[in-house]
Structure 1
């Protein structure tokens, strides 16, 4: 069983059930399944075969889910790409990923001539019309095709490819904070098992209405608010891009039951002045992932909106979810919860030996969700997967109840005069201050101490000073953990999922010191 074949089963049992609303227009499971089959056939008519690679340069839309499931039904491999990446970043992924066809918004049309020379392996650019009343002229280049025409050309009697569970379904390129992005190869088994396990763990069912605003090209969204709802017969409420106003509107109109977001999204919703707690009254589950949520923000949000937020943990290489706060036991604020079913997490030292309860080490993961490896990178694969365990690069500890706590990224740890300082513990203190909206902590080079603590904050009080904030920290942190300096910004740099980019802040400091 894989996601595409399971969709056919779900559509047969729930033909008239709504699979998604997009711009307030409903689509049934039967209509979606038919579109997926026809698109798979349309791709095959273009010469796309089982095992070929297809890139998706798309935002949250029916185009994305039809392309994803159509490609999987054909047996092709999908490479989702953030459409706002630079041309150089997109070009690298398409060339490295040996992409044969690109499915994109019509913004790509003016670039068709240049792309032909830059990306010689690409045979087809399938263009999704954003404005049907004024479609782009696709005759400007022979490689341009219309998404609608590819879909219409397909037949409903197309026979799905005979795929193996270990065939690669999706290649997700990591953000590449250290060197070039690496393509994590996720098999049909990886994706199906994680969607099924997280659906069971979180009790997602056919009565749920799931807000899908996390970017679909990101693995958190792909599994938790796309594949898990579809595998469960639930309804997705697709929102093209994150907007607090739209989240509140859609939640109220469709009586949403599940919301998933990154901490920054929760912060924006909490700060939104027109946010009415009544609009979230039908939520039974709020999910946070992508980054650690400050405990102060979690408690403030829960108090204001009378909901519980369950934090979880995942990474692209694990499809992504490995741990979540359980729904049938007490939730622990600040924890990523316990291992989900069929997945094992443990904390190890540098020799790969499990450390005692409460001790910090590296989190490693094992399960059917762990990737096949990095595409065309055997050495990196061997370094990441050792003795059957995926090494995450995250520092964590486990308590006596089996709950895991992420301390920080291994590479983000700051060493001040020989002492280890985890940025998150300083950030937690800053978030407790009533005037702090956002905070990020990095290590800045220092000639004597090696590194010192540098903080970046966003405040809602223009009178707050660096001196006052450092004094506040002095009452709550050991001396070696104290900020050496605090810089006030209007906003912190973030990626498209809302995750704060510490790397960009480190580059800012290095440029200032140069």
Structure 2
């Protein structure tokens, strides 16, 4: 495959150069190719006549990258699965997006949430393939729909089921090309990735793009601010990739720092408030570069300027239009729906046929965000049309949280939503509940904690007598958001 050939070309040019670093561990380009060639060959044998996709269930570690390219070499559709997800979330994937197994680190097998439902295990060089029992495999697998697909990532669904975004090789290649050409990435770069590799920010900026040009990737082992600063001092990265919450924390570290080799700091995943950007620039003498994009299109817009109101200009090979409700392009300066054309866009949702396609207007993906382009072609975002909550760069589907809480004894009605509670305009997850009076905040937190990953635990729990709805029964989330935000700021929640 072309993807693997790009990495092998880098190995031919820089055979003994470090490709991946993690703590004190280093893997050269030659070693990387050897590892994914060997494991890929074994996976081909182990998965012969097994059509189900495989979930890559590995935390940020070189093994994630080795495992991904091994599955690509084996010709298997690879799902990028958050390694913090638990039993309920993995079972949901098996049922709704039809996973048939998982690739995990051998040392982590004992912690795998569904170990009791594994039929076979195969191990090679520190990685273990877990094949699930036939009884729990879905009989609705659509092999034809996966034709040409090499990997899948997830976007929040509307019913607690994640939308499975399918990517062909050309989409993954385009994402790497768009990014590397836009920032002139080269073999001299060192990319320090402090974001999760399953997230589009990391996957599109910090895996294929640097490997394609022969750069070095440094993966995080600890994202506490002091450790991050020490890693920057030690590794001398030229590119730093992180979620907004980490930039916020870095501004609070005592002292001022100067990292002359660091040419770009990239943030994406949620809104990074202007005040944080200014504090960061004052402390580190670096302007944070915002990357904008929705999950379906991948990263599309880059702001490398100190115009903190804008999200910037389109990346190389990306085109942006502002459309009205009829799908017609409107003049510069006019507010409309931000729509993006890029070859990095997901092919479709596996488990929601035609849903993504309905968002297309002449091959431009309608993002659901409202904004405008100025005369220079710079994009400004003014609002969102979705209910999905951004929690420190993680997308949380409020309906999933609601479904879990409805199973808690004593809860009669519930709504989950994002509340803006600080100067940074960041969101935290809140829930409003109607109960029989027997439920406490601790009960709510513990119930969610048993079922979902930690960032889906509500930080605000509000007990109410009624939940505001319109005449059609739709929850008036904005009314709740406004009420809870004011109460929180006044210390009343």
**TM-score interval (norm. to shorter):** 0.7 to 0.9
CA distance in 2, matches of 1:27, 1:114: 30
Matched, 1:109 2:110: yes
Could you report, residue by residue, the CA deviation over 1:340-383 in whole angstroms, capped at 9, with x for unpaired residues? 12211111121112223233222111121111100032231332
Which residue among 304, 318, 321 is the counterpart of 2:283? 304
CA distance in 1, matches of 2:488, 2:268: 27
Residue of structure 2 equivalent to 1:324 = 302
Could you report, residue by residue, the CA deviation over 1:463-511 in whole angstroms, capped at 9, with x for unpaired residues? xxxxxxxxxxxxxxxxxxxx7544378xxxxxxxxxxxxxxxxxxx9xx
CA distance in 2, matches of 1:113, 1:370: 32
- Counterpart contact for 1:295–1:333, Cα < 8 Å: yes
Matched, 1:375 2:339: no
Stretches of structure 1 lacking an aligned partner (at least 5 in a row): 117-124, 126-141, 152-164, 414-422, 458-482, 490-508
Shift of residue 324 of structure 1? 1.1
Could you report, residue by residue, the CA deviation over 1:88-120 in whole angstroms, capped at 9, with x for unpaired residues? 11111133333233112444436687642xxxx
Measured on the aligned residues, the alpha-carbon RMSD in Å equals: 3.4
C-alpha change, 1:210 and 1:114, in structure 2 (3 Å) is closer
Residue of structure 2 equivalent to 1:143 = 120
Three-state SS of the structure 1 residue aligned to 2:266 is: strand
Shift of residue 48 of structure 1? 4.3
Stretches of structure 2 lacking an aligned partner (at least 5 in a row): 129-145, 389-416, 433-466, 471-475
Shift of residue 74 of structure 1? 2.0
- Counterpart contact for 1:166–1:189, Cα < 8 Å: no
C-alpha change, 1:112 and 1:305, in structure 2 (3 Å) is closer
CA distance in 1, matches of 2:22, 2:204: 19
Residue of structure 1 equivalent to 2:393 = none
Count of residue pairs brought into register by the alignment: 408
Matched, 1:277 2:257: yes
Three-state SS of the structure 2 residue aligned to 1:287 is: strand
Shift of residue 86 of structure 1? 3.0
| TM-score where L is the length of structure 1 | 0.71
- Counterpart contact for 1:442–1:453, Cα < 8 Å: no
Which residue among 255, 258, 274 is the counterpart of 2:236? 255
C-alpha change, 1:150 and 1:256, in structure 2 (3 Å) is closer
- Counterpart contact for 2:302–2:315, Cα < 8 Å: yes
Residue of structure 2 equivalent to 1:154 = none
CA distance in 1, matches of 2:6, 2:48: 22
Shift of residue 453 of structure 1? 7.5
C-alpha change, 1:242 and 1:399, in structure 2 (3 Å) is same
C-alpha change, 1:357 and 1:453, in structure 2 (3 Å) is farther
CA distance in 2, matches of 1:113, 1:203: 43
C-alpha change, 1:456 and 1:216, in structure 2 (3 Å) is farther
Could you report, residue by residue, the CA deviation over 1:241-300 in whole angstroms, capped at 9, with x for unpaired residues? 422122111110111111111211100111133x6513x342111111111211111111
Shift of residue 70 of structure 1? 1.1
| TM-score where L is the length of structure 2 | 0.74
Matched, 1:208 2:189: yes
Residue of structure 2 equivalent to 1:499 = none
CA distance in 1, matches of 2:155, 2:232: 31
Matches within 5 A, 1:387-402: 387-402=362-377
